[in-house]
Structure formats: structure tokens, C-alpha cells
Amino acid sequence: MIANYCTFLIAIDGPAGAGKSTIAKNLGKALGFHYLDSGAYYRCYALAALENGIEAQDETHLRQMVHTTAVSVQYPESGTPVYFVNQRDVSSDIRSQRVSLCVSPISQSPAVRDAVNLTLRKIASSGKFIIDGRDIGTVVFPDANLKFFLTASSQIRAQRRHLELQKRGEDVSLSQLKSEIEERDRMDSERAIAPLRKPEDAILVDSSSLTPDEVVAVMSEYVEKAHQRGLIR
Ligand code: CDP
């Protein structure tokens, strides 16, 4: 059993559709940690940019938008977090395909990245957190207690996203999703600031042939080992 730590941070980075949010949520539940989904914050700003007609290259207007847009999250006792943009519940809108298509370009904006990083660092300044994203273990929290890099083949990731969208009633072909996911990987990995890459000290977990429960079990073992070895105080 994991002891109660004052501050304990687990970073989970990886490409689109690797299952980070499901795993982070379930691992959080299993360990009694809070879960922060950094991608959801980027999605909130991407939705705001879309609705205000601001292009990804328009740094001046993105910077203004960040200052005038209130992004917040509420954690109900049970159930999933609720995201708000200027007090409007956008939890469903931010998962739509139109947001998925513009979030990577928008997240290249330094103003947007600064805003998200500031929020994450403020929230996670004390307590037990699992945070998932692209640059959590490399840039936002390089001193995280434990780092994972969760990946899976692009075919499997596209299949997972396909199922997710089908449940939302959005019909996108599997081959189209696979190329969109690969394009998003490319943009996230090749960008100049905070590119997606495995932190050197991260544990690589390939979820291609693992169920979510199996991934959570693998990660829980690492958390327990780190605790036993006294690496986590
Ligand atoms: O859920 P999915 O894996 O599709 O992506 P997400 O976690 O919701 O993140 C959406 C997008 O936000 C990513 O493709 C990145 O472009 C960006 N992002 C980022 O740049 N840095 C992060 N820490 C998290 C997300």
C-alpha cells in the first residue's frame, strides 16, 4: 500500500491516443492521487481560438485571448472533471474532432503554453498528482518523482480513437484517423518548443497489447518499487 505523501508527482507523457487519460484517471483512483489532464487545457484554448476565429500563427491575438479567457475545471466527487471556458461547460466540445484537428497548431503558441504551464504548476504545488501530456516530464515538471512514457502503435491508437468517436456519434474513417494521429505526432514531435519526446529517465510502457487494467498494474508496481527503495519521500 502506498503511504500518504505530501507531494508526489507522476508524469505520463506520450503520443495521441496512447491511452494516457484513461490510465492516468484509473491509476489516480487506485493510488488516491489527483489527476490533471494537460491536454484538456490545450483543448480549451484551441476551442476558444476556433470560436474567436484566431489563427494558430496569430501570436498577438492568441496572447490577448489567453488573458481574456477564463479556463477552469471542477472535480465532482464522482465522475469526470468538468471543463469551463468563460463559465461555459465545454467538456464535450473539447473532445470533438474539429478541436482535435486544431489543437496541435494552437499548442505551439508560447502564450498558450505559458498559460497552461502556469496553471499546472499552481495546482500541483502540493499534494499527490498524476499529470499527463507531451512535455510534463521534460519541461513542466522535470523533477517529477516518477516518469512514464506511454505509447502504442499508430494503428492501435487510431482504433481506440475510432471507438471513442463512434460513442460520441462522430463518424470518421479509421484510415483518416490514423493519418490524422500520425500528423499530430509529427507536429507534436517536431515543434520547436516543448516537443514530444521520451524523458531520458522515463519508464517506457507500450500499451499496444495491454488492457487499461494491465497498464495500471504495471505502473502501480513501479510506484510501489520506488516507494520501497526510498526514492519517494
Ligand atoms: O487525448 P489526446 O492524446 O488526443 O491528446 P490530448 O492529451 O488531449 O492533447 C491534445 C493536444 O494538445 C496534443 O496533440 C498536443 O498538441 C497538445 N498538448 C501539448 O502540446 N502539451 C501537453 N502537455 C498536452 C497536450
**In tens digits, what is the pLDDT along the chain, a chain of 233 residues?**
444 445 789 999 999 889 999 999 999 999 888 999 999 999 999 999 999 999 999 999 999 999 999 999 998 877 788 999 999 999 999 999 999 999 999 999 999 999 999 999 999 988 889 999 999 999 999 999 999 999 999 999 999 999 989 998 988 899 999 999 999 899 999 999 999 999 999 999 999 999 999 999 999 999 988 878 776 55
Among residues 160, 123, 122, which one has the least CA distance to residue 15? 160
Residue 6 is predicted with a pLDDT of: 54
The residue nearest atom 12 of ligand 1, judged by CA position, is 39
Q: Which three cell numbers stand for residue 127?
A: 499534494
Among residues 189, 186, 162, which one has the least CA distance to residue 176? 162
Domains in the chain, CATH or no CATH each: 8-227 (3.40.50.300)
Residue 126 is predicted with a pLDDT of: 82
Ligand 1, residue 46: give the atom nearest the CA. Answer: 12
CA distance 133 to 28: 15
The residue nearest atom 21 of ligand 1, judged by CA position, is 134
Question: Cα of 39 to ligand 1 centre, how many Å?
Answer: 4
Residue 2 is predicted with a pLDDT of: 44
Residue ranges around ligand 1 (CB below 6 Å): 16-17, 21, 38-39, 42-43, 103-104, 107, 133-136, 184, 188
Q: Going edge to edge, which strands form the sheet with 88-89?
A: 71-74, 82-85, 88-89
CA atoms within 13 A on the CB side of 41: 26
Residue 12 is predicted with a pLDDT of: 98
Residue 4 is predicted with a pLDDT of: 46
The residue nearest atom 6 of ligand 1, judged by CA position, is 39
The residue nearest atom 15 of ligand 1, judged by CA position, is 104
Could you tell me which residues come within 8 angstroms of residue 210 by beta carbon, excluding any fewer than 6 positions away? 218
Residue 233 is predicted with a pLDDT of: 53
Q: Read out DSSP for 154-182?
A: HHHHHHHHHHHHHHTT----HHHHHHHHH
The residue nearest atom 16 of ligand 1, judged by CA position, is 104
Residue 170 is predicted with a pLDDT of: 87
Q: Which three cell numbers stand for residue 56?
A: 494558430
Question: Cα of 195 to ligand 1 centre, how many Å?
Answer: 11
Residue 219 is predicted with a pLDDT of: 96
